[in-house]
């Protein structure tokens, strides 16, 4: 929480009760994505007058400063940043349980080597499949 507050201040955002409550809720989602609708419902339970616009704006601002990450495949899902020190990273996402695992390596050079003369301005990579736990459960079922 302290790191998130520090990042808010560093980027000249006010540390309000609403933002603190939003961050507190998002901290529960470091290894799973959460639907923005679920976030909105949670925040409106705390603050009945809070608009969707306010919630979406705060999430976009949080993404801009690296507090949350949007899922590349589905922009209606976000999760709390899993690595504040290395904002640029990629994920493996389990298609069964939704667990998100950070990938340490970045394969961008593999792609840029195939694009001589091109200017790559960004990229995002998510790998999908079954995590180790789900794979084991599936193997036990099939046995």
How far out from the chain centre does Cα 67 lie?
Answer: 8
Residue positions in the annotated binding site?
A: 88, 94, 97, 109, 123, 131, 134
- What is the pTM for the complete model shown? 0.78
Provide the pLDDT for residue 73: 77
DSSP SS3 for 94 = strand
Say if CB 47 and CB 68 are below 8 A apart: no
Q: Residue 72: pLDDT above 90?
A: no
Q: Which CATH class is domain 1-80?
A: mainly alpha
Where in the chain are all domains bearing CATH 1.10.10.10? 1-80
Q: Which residues are annotated as a binding site for Zn(2+)?
A: 94, 97, 131, 134
Tell me which H or E stretch contains 118: none
Cα 98 to Cα 23, 33, 34, 139, distances in angstroms: 21, 7, 10, 18
Considering the chain, tell me which residue range(s) the CATH 3.30.1490.190 domain(s) occupy: 90-140
Q: Residue-wise over 72-106: b if at least 16 C-beta within 10 A, else e?
A: eeeeebbbbbeeeeeeebbbbbbeeebbbeeeeee
Residue 60 and residue 67: Cα distance in Å, rounded? 10
Q: Please give the pLDDT value at position 87.
A: 67
CATH of region 90-140: 3.30.1490.190
Mean pLDDT within 123-137: 90
pLDDT tens digits, 88-118 = 778 899 999 989 888 888 888 889 999 999 9
- Distance of alpha carbon 14 from alpha carbon 5, whole angstroms: 9
Q: Mean pLDDT throughout 107-131?
A: 90
Confidence of residue 84 (pLDDT cuts 50, 70, 90): low
Q: For position 86, what pLDDT does the model report? A: 62
- Within 8 A by CB and 6+ apart from 13, the residues are 19, 61, 65
- Which amino acids are annotated as binding site for Fe cation, given as ranges? 88, 109, 123
What is the Cα–Cα distance from 52 to 128, expressed in whole angstroms?
30
């Amino acid at each position: 929480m302290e790191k998130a507050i520090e990042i808010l201040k560093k980027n000249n955002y006010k540390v309000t009760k609403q933002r603190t409550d939003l961050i507190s809720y998002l901290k529960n989602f470091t290894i799973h994505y959460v639907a923005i609708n679920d976030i909105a419902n949670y925040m409106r339970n705390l603050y009945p007058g809070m608009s969707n616009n306010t919630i979406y704006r705060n999430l976009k601002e949080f993404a801009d400063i690296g507090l949350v990450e949007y899922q590349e495949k589905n922009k209606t899902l976000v999760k709390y940043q899993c690595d504040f020190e290395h904002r640029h990273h990629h994920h493996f996402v389990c298609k069964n349980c939704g667990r998100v695992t950070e990938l340490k390596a970045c394969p961008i050079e593999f792609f840029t080597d195939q694009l001589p003369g091109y200017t790559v301005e960004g990229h995002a990579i998510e790998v999908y499949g079954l995590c180790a736990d789900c794979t084991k459960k599936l193997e036990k079922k099939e046995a």
